[in-house]
């Protein structure tokens, strides 16, 4: 910075030209070399912003006045936009969202991973980027003395924003929210006050599958559980004929959880049936499954293509006896591995969550898949046991041709990367929902002889800063590093 451009001070109003987007969705502006992250701004905006906090290397600010709107700025659909905070890019044209997501994938790989010699393939976006979420975790609180089912306002944990419509949710889920809120009001059941630790109804978990063809609902309560469950079931069944199950989960703790809790089935079954590609999957109440069913089809097809299991006409290119052996790490309910199974010689799935492994095994049965084998346990530990011989696999599964890895947002531990590198599969397909953790993981895999060939961003989360990636790595040289 020069003396003509002093550092901005807290509460100061500054005029800024916004030139980029940061991870998390804030606009990026600069005063000489000093970076200002601007909430509520999109690239191309000229804004007057108030400085909220200032650090040594950057400041954070909030738009107070839009002096000149960006040509990429558009009108947000949601009346709660800016207050909810769930889809912070709703005022940025969708084509621009795709452009910036792709550029952030490249930036992560280059700057965080030191990776340069790779191909960034065109991002896969949605033709209609609305009404795609098949799951909602609503909070329940009190507003003006009445129970309200909605979302937390941006930056708040102790209040609930009343919800009239969410343009990201599948419509059947939104209808469930309305039914439950009306029922809570009529029954005079209080919502939860997290500050006081008082109330009864805490969360509503609603899931849908097959484009709203099936609905599963869980009301999370405090105390000893729901005594009016039969009445709630009758109300939901009358209003939503696609309902397949209703549960009551209990949370007596302080943590704000809507899933992974003990529950009682009030009616029906505690799982959905979802279709991906030509496979049917059982998805239990608390199981992880991609929240965008439409793009999950494209994601699985892309994984098959990157794994070399489809030809140029997108037809099956291998028969089962001649196909590759696939190891599907962090396999969940088997949504990726089982879609590959009929093109593979065999599939091994490894997953730490017991209920997910049970679902994966049942999904193999549902799909009449006989060449899939699932193991429960920590991925790094199981891989170590396989390599040292203490965990014996069937002979046809012992050497993988392709490893597919789809870890949580936090990415892989260094030990997990080391174990994968030691296996030495010819090809790795890394499915990531966070390019900032993908980058260091790929950089570590290069130390085991792998080369990043190409990466394809996939927009599973329109109008949010999040982006999925499918990366292809090939083994260029055998691993030569010591074990971790």
Q: Is 86 left (phi over 0), alpha (psi -120 to 50) or beta?
A: alpha
What the chain holds in terms of domains, given with CATH numbers, is: 13-68 (2.40.50.140), 106-126+292-475 (3.40.50.150), 135-275 (2.40.50.1070)
> Does an H or E element contain 360, and which?
helix 354-366
- Supply the pLDDT for residue 43: 95
Residues 6+ apart with CB under 8 A from 4: none
Percentage, residues of the chain above pLDDT 90: 80
Helical H segments across 122-228, by residue range:
171-187
Residues 6+ apart with CB under 8 A from 333: 281, 282, 283, 284, 287, 288, 289, 356, 359, 360, 363
Residue 444 CA to residue 11 CA, distance in Å, equals: 43
Rg, Å, the chain Cα set: 24
- Supply the pLDDT for residue 321: 65
DSSP letter assigned to residue 109: I
| Assigned token pair, 9 | 């001070």
pLDDT single digits (tens) 4-62: 567 899 999 999 999 999 888 899 999 998 999 999 999 999 999 999 999 989 999 99
- Supply the pLDDT for residue 311: 52
Residues of the chain under the 70 pLDDT cut:
1-5, 310-321, 478-484
- Supply the pLDDT for residue 478: 63
- Supply the pLDDT for residue 316: 42
- Supply the pLDDT for residue 255: 87
The residues carrying an active-site annotation are: 433
Cβ(456)–Cβ(121) under 8 Å? yes
- Supply the pLDDT for residue 103: 95
């Amino acid at each position: 910075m020069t003396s003509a451009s002093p550092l901005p001070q807290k509460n100061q109003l500054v005029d800024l030209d916004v030139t980029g987007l940061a991870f998390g969705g804030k606009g990026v502006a600069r005063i000489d070399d000093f970076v200002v992250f601007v909430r509520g701004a999109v690239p191309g905006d000229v804004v007057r912003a108030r400085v909220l906090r200032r650090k040594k290397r950057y400041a954070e600010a909030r738009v107070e006045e839009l002096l000149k709107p960006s040509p990429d700025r558009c009108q947000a659909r949601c009346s709660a936009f800016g207050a909810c905070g769930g889809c912070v890019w709703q005022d940025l044209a969708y084509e621009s969202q795709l452009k910036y997501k792709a550029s952030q994938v490249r930036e992560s790989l280059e700057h965080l991973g030191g990776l340069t010699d790779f191909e960034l393939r065109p991002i896969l976006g949605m033709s209609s980027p609305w009404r795609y979420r098949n799951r909602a975790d609503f909070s329940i609180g009190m507003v003006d003395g009445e129970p309200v089912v909605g979302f937390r306002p941006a930056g708040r944990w102790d209040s609930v924003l009343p919800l009239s419509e969410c343009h990201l949710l599948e419509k059947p889920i939104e209808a469930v929210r309305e039914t439950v809120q009306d029922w809570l009001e009529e029954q005079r059941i209080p919502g939860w006050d997290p500050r006081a630790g008082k109330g009864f109804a805490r969360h509503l978990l609603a899931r849908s599958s097959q484009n709203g063809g099936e609905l599963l609902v869980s009301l999370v309560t405090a105390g000893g559980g729901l005594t009016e469950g039969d009445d709630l079931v009758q109300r939901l069944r009358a209003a939503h004929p696609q309902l397949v199950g209703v549960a009551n989960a209990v949370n007596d703790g302080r943590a704000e959880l809507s899933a992974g809790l003990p529950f009682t089935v009030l009616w029906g079954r505690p799982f959905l049936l979802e279709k991906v590609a030509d496979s049917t999957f059982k998805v239990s109440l608390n199981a992880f499954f991609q929240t965008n069913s439409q793009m999950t089809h494209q994601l699985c097809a892309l994984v098959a293509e990157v794994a070399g299991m489809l030809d140029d006409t997108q037809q099956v290119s291998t028969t089962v006896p001649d196909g590759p052996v696939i190891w599907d790490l962090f396999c969940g309910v088997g949504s990726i591995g089982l879609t590959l199974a009929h093109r593979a010689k065999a599939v091994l799935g490894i997953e730490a969550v017991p209920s997910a492994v049970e679902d994966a095994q049942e999904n193999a049965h549902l799909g009449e898949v006989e060449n899939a084998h699932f193991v429960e346990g920590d991925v790094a530990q199981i891989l170590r046991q396989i390599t040292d011989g203490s965990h014996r696999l069937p002979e046809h599964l012992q050497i993988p041709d392709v490893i597919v890895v789809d870890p949580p947002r936090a990415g892989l531990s260094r030990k997990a990367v080391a174990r994968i590198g030691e296996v030495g599969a010819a090809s790795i397909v890394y499915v990531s929902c966070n390019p900032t953790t993908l980058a260091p993981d790929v950089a570590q895999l290069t130390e085991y002889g792998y080369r990043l060939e190409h990466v394809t961003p996939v927009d599973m989360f329109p109008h949010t800063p999040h982006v999925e990636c499918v990366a292809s790595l090939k083994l260029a040289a055998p691993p030569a590093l010591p074990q971790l």
